[in-house]
Amino acid sequence: MPNPAPPKNQKTPKTEEGIKLAPSLDKFIDHLIEEKKFGKLDPDIKTQIKKDLIDRLEGVVNAKLILALPPDKLAEFEKLLAQDASQTAVDKFLKDNIPNLELYLAGTLADFRKKYLGIL
């Protein structure tokens, strides 16, 4: 589930922890908020909850990706990020070095959902 390719001149959006999640995960976050059943929320509060969830999810996904990389590939990955590589290059590196990346990311999202909703 790597991010869709950005325009050719666009750099990889990053947080302090690493790569930024795909905008398509907005629907995932919106669905989590609905599943949590907060009831009617003030729009500003809902926006803040969404921002907080995105930040948490980015941190979890970035940590899991780093844990999934073979130890001998970590320095190469850090170098790639330090070079402001394109999102396409980062996605390719992760796909080439993490077996079953899409499945791994799907599991990470499912675990995040369960923890957030208190299902675990």
pLDDT of residue 98: 97
Per-residue burial over 19-38, b = 16 or more CB atoms within 10 Å of its CB, e = otherwise: bbbeeebeebbeebeeeeee
pLDDT of residue 97: 97
pLDDT of residue 19: 53
Find all residues with CB under 8 Å of 88, minimum gap 6, and list them: 5, 6
Per-residue confidence at 17, pLDDT binned at 50, 70, 90? very low
